[in-house]
Amino acid sequence: MPGGTQRGSRGFSLLELMTALTVVAILALVALPAYSRYLQEGRLVEAPTLLTRYAAVLERRFLETHRYDEDGTCTFPAGRHFAVQCELRPGGYRLIARNLAGAGLGASDRYVYVLDSEGRRRTLRFAGEARDLPCWQLRAGVGCP
């Protein structure tokens, strides 16, 4: 229209913008907790990985030297989210993985997993709650199979 203005031909109305922002906010409220759980589960997988890796190192050492330790000790480097403690016992060992503080899993010792020389797996703490499960619990609400 020459010399006049065309209403509605440019941009979005305030109502359309508010509707779009409301939809985005609702999606964020639903998606963020699920994404946080997804990240947590990804971090928890490190514990069984470290425990089985270090158990394999100890078993290989035992096959070669008939001892689980080197010079009376067994220590392993920490991962990004977990530190592994090694306890030597007569004829065996016990590996304990504890989450590190500030590594995305809350305060230290909120998650504690165990593997011993007999292959027994245990969950002693999950999300700060004391447990004594005969498996590695890696997801909330899911116990041992």
> What does the pLDDT average to over 50-63?
95
pLDDT at res. 2: 56
| 3 pLDDT above the threshold of 60 | no
pLDDT at res. 6: 58
Tell me, what DSSP letter sits at residue 128? T
Q: Which helix (H) or strand (E) holds 96?
A: strand 92-99
Instruction: Please tell me the least confidently modeled range out of 9-13, 56-60, 91-95.
Output: 9-13
> What does the pLDDT average to over 99-107?
91
pLDDT at res. 4: 53
| 94 pLDDT above the threshold of 80 | yes
Evaluate the CA torsion angle 74, 127, 40, 49 in order and state its sign. positive
The percent of residues in the chain predicted with pLDDT above 70, rounded, is 94
Nearest to 100 by CA among 137, 36, 50, 141: 50
pLDDT at res. 38: 83
pLDDT at res. 91: 85
